[in-house]
Amino acid sequence: MSTASEHAGQAALSICEALLLAMNERGLLPEHEIVGVLRDAAATHENAVGTELEMDWHLAVADLINGIKAGGDAVHRW
């Protein structure tokens, strides 16, 4: 069963992805900078330190971010 914090995390991820797409569509942030933002965010989690449980969480977050970067959407391919 999902928790309230999991729902909040999914909502935040969706909002951030939509904002990145909107900023690109408006010409406020070029695609190479969006890729850089996503790459930096994923790297932060990939390089995190902690317990095994914390590391599993960080790596799952990095996988989600890398999935966004790899998949983009129907119009954009980050």
Is the pLDDT at 4 greater than 60? The verdict is: yes
Are 36 and 24 a contacting pair, CB within 8 Å? Answer: no
Give the DSSP letter string of 19-30.
HHHHHHHTTSS-
Query: Over pLDDT 90: what percentage of the chain?
Result: 64
Please report the pLDDT score of residue 72 as a whole number.
Answer: 59
CA distance 21 to 9: 18
Q: pLDDT digit string (tens) for 7-29?
A: 998 899 889 989 999 999 999 99
When the pLDDT of each residue in the chain is averaged and rounded to a whole number, the result is: 87
